Amino acid sequence: MYDGGKIITGVVIGLALLTFPFWYNLGRAVTKADPKLPTKEKQCVEPKAYMKTKHMQLLDLWRDSTVRAAKRSYIGFNGVKYDMSLQNTCMSPDCHSKKTEFCDQCHNYTAVVPYCWDCHIPPKEEKPKEVKPKEE
């Protein structure tokens, strides 16, 4: 090989860059998305498969409908009428009341950062109790 040193160095650098995902994940635990479904409410506004892949488009539609057309009622796939509201319908206390246990599960897993929360306020959740320094 001519100029072997330089070429092999280049190949090693190239391979190191191209195999980035393999060595980056070495020794990292395999995580899994584990969204907790609500216990009280059993039925969503649309079937599960639809919600799994297209919920963002539905929410986008709801946003446009309420904010721009002032239409607030939505007929679900089973004929039930719902109020189009992220905070009051989707995330009502009886439904997905905890953002961290539902939304964040898949979003964090697939590294999606939805901009819902630029405007909306997620429902308050009890934070794991921290040991507070005593005030005296």
Partner 1 sequence: MNIILSLTVSFLAVFGLVVIAFLGVWAAHLDVLFGVIIPYLAVITFFVGIVYRVVKWGKCPVPFRIPSTCGQQKTLPWIKRTYVDKLDNPSNMLGVVGRMFLEVVCFRSLFRNLKLQFGDGQYVKYTSAKWLWLGAIVFHYSFLIVLIRHLRFFTDPLPLFVKVTENIDGFFQIFLPTLYQSGFLLGAAVTYLLLRRVLDAKLRFISLPADYFPLFLILGLLTTGILMRYVLKTDVVSIKELTMGLIHFNPVVPEGVSSLFYIHLFLVSVLFAYLPFSKLSHMAGVFLSPTRNLSNNNRMVRHINPWDYPVKVHTYEAYEDDFREKMRDAGLPLDKE
Contact at 8 Å (CB) between 76 and 46? yes
The nearest distance, CB 11 to partner 1, in angstroms, is 6
Query: Strand, helix or coil at 126?
Result: coil
Tokens of 38: 């609500």
Kindly tell me which of 59 and 95 has the beta carbon lying closer to partner 1: 59
CB of 136 to partner 1, least distance (A): 40
* Least distance (Å) between residue 51 CB and partner 1: 11
56/80 with CB nearer partner 1: 56
User: What's the token pair of residue 73?
Assistant: 């009622």
Query: Rounded to an integer, what is the distance from CA 127 to the centroid of its chain?
Result: 19
The whole-angstrom separation of Cα 8 and Cα 45 is: 59
- For the bound state, the minimum distance from the C-beta of residue 98 to partner 1, rounded and expressed in Å, comes to 18
Q: Which residues would be at the binding site for partner 1 (CB under 8 A)?
A: 1-4, 7, 10-11, 14-15, 18-22, 24-25, 28, 30-33, 49, 52-54, 56-57, 59-60, 106, 109-112, 115
- Considering the complex, what minimum distance in angstroms separates the CB of residue 42 from partner 1? 20
Nearer to partner 1, 113 or 131 (CB): 113
Q: Using alpha carbons only, how large is the chain's radius of gyration in Å? A: 23
Q: Which is nearer to partner 1, 25 or 80 (CB)?
A: 25
Instruction: Report how far residue 5's alpha carbon sits from residue 8's, in angstroms, rounded to the nearest whole number.
Output: 5
What are residue 1's DSSP bridge partners? none
Residue with Cβ nearer partner 1 (10 or 76):
10
> Which amino acid does the sequence have at 130?
E
